[in-house]
Structure 1
């Protein structure tokens, strides 16, 4: 099932994408797509039993918001692709590198990326987003995927100057408003299948900058979920962004960064596509 939220920012309504690609309203069946819903197995079973063709179609062009409301925390994993570590000249991490990204950075998949006034090294990073569906605390690797509700495209927009030159705290460069576009859909885990077999890519101004697969991850989704759960309890609705492959602006020679007027497209197989203009 592909869940989504559509409408004006701050007033999104719940919906889903049917097999034909039509946005259908779920407003008669749930108040929102949120942590309470995805953590309720009975409520989710009821939605899964609906006939999408019987749901009202949403007519005309519609803005898509972040597909999940009430995300409790965003946990990022840094340098988690072999090819990205190589392009950065960094050693392969012995353990996952973690950082937090503010929830105020969340935005819709096609909302503009707004550069901070003093930004001059803003970078793109296509990432697989993992949404937790069951409380996870100190879970074993072999049990970790049972705690995953679903997957989505996430864009970990990063201002490298703030990330790397302002005291060494990554959160500063990762948390500006609008620096975490998510969506267009939240796809349930059973529909995605193997999270380590997904192609992902990112274009900037029509040039393919990133092209890889989630099989390049140093630490796979199960390992990441298990590892994070040993340092903090993961709750339904928490979002993990799992790292980016090679091809980021920082890795170009010389580095290339986003500027106002640039257009970014990014996608993960089966999870949809994002399109953003830098303003």
Structure 2
């Protein structure tokens, strides 16, 4: 099942994708929550209710995907946990030597940095070092703390896509990456959530690609992760309670602009697309901060 948020004349609403159509759940299932976090928290019962609504959707609730104004699928996650240095080949292209980590490199993003599918990623005025990082996102569906590895994947509701666009010179101004990873409108997320049952266990073996202006710049398999998704969930839950709607952005493979000679930065007028087999494609134009969309 594919779940999404989109804009209507009456405001944001949740939808379910059915081929080239979207079912407006506000009209097809008025008793379901209007909030994605709350819908995910219903677990299997909520997804079954969505499936029944899709099957019985009245014509008034059906609209084409074409022309849809996409919104970020989870607009207010309690946590956006990002995993760095999670592909061995990406570690090799880092500006300073790194060993394979024995524990995940973790940083957080803030929700104000997120943009939706087709929305512009903004290159800030203070830097031209705007880098692409295509990633798979794990979306938590069940609350948990101290989650055993064997049980970790049962806490996954869905998967999605992310472009963890980074301001590289600001990322390395200090040992902490927070500033360079949290500029406004630099984290593309979407376009929709694909429920875990539609993908291989742990989303393993899926091809991840990033394409900049028609040229493939990243190409890897999710099986190449150093810390797989079950491991990420289990380790993160040692420190914090994972909640429905929390995002774990699982790391980017090699090919980033920083690792190229000369470096390759995104600039105004570019188009960057992240895709993962079975999950879809996330496309964003690049615009300078303050420029018209």
Shared fold per TM-score greater than 0.5:
yes
Structure 1 counterpart of 2:291: none
Q: Deviations over 1:162-186 (max 9, x none)?
A: 1112x22211111112222111110
Deviation at 1:33, TM superposition (A): 4.4
Equivalence map 1:26-41=2 (5 Å): 26-28=25-27, 29=29, 30-41=32-43
192-201 or 51-60, which deviates more: 51-60
Deviation at 1:9, TM superposition (A): 11
Contact 1:16 1:24 survives alignment (8 Å)? yes
In structure 1, distance between residues paired with 2:11 and 2:185? 17
Counterpart residue number, 2:46: 43
**CA–CA distance in structure 1, aligned partners of residues 54 and 34 of structure 2:** 18
Residues 26-64 of structure 1 show CA distances to partners (whole Å, capped at 9, x for unaligned) of 112234241111011333321133344735222451111
When the two structures are aligned, how many residues end up with a matched partner?
277
3-state SS, counterpart of residue 267 of structure 2: coil
Partner of 1:277: 285
1:125 aligns with one of 105, 122, 133: 133
Return 5+ residue gaps in structure 2 as ranges. 288-293
- Residue in structure 2 matched with residue 17 of structure 1 by the alignment: 17
Q: How does 1:107-146 map to 2 (within 5 A)?
A: 107-146=115-154
The whole-number CA distance in structure 2 between the counterparts of 1:32 and 1:69 is: 12
Determine if the alignment matches structure 1 residue 263 to structure 2 residue 271.
yes
CA distance in 1, matches of 2:193, 2:34: 13
CA contact under 8 A between 1:3 and 1:33: conserved in structure 2? Answer: no
Q: CA deviation at 1:153?
A: 0.6
Match of 2:259 among 240, 243, 251: 251
CA distance in 1, matches of 2:136, 2:279: 9
Task: Identify the match of residue 191 of structure 2 among 184, 200, 214.
Answer: 184
Separation in structure 2 between the aligned mates of residue 9 and residue 47 of structure 1, nearest angstrom: 22
How many Å apart are 1:193 and its aligned residue?
Answer: 2.4
| Alpha-carbon separation, structure 2, partners of 1:32 and 1:90 | 45
Larger strand proportion of the pair: 2
1:104 aligns with 2:112: yes
Instruction: Give the CA deviation at 1:12.
Output: 2.1
Conservation of the 8 A alpha-carbon contact between 1:263 and 1:277: yes
Cα distance between partner residues in 1 of 2:10 and 2:198: 28
How far apart, in 2, do the equivalents of 1:102 and 1:268 lie?
24
Change (3 A) 1:11 1:156: farther
Matches within 5 A, 1:91-240: 91-165=99-173, 167-194=174-201, 195-240=203-248
TM-score, normalised via structure 2 length: 0.90
Q: After superposition, what is the alpha-carbon deviation per residue over 1:101-125, rounded to whole angstroms, capped at 9, x for unaligned?
A: 1111111121001111102211100
Closer/same/farther in 2, CA of residues 231 and 206 from structure 1, 3 Å limit: same
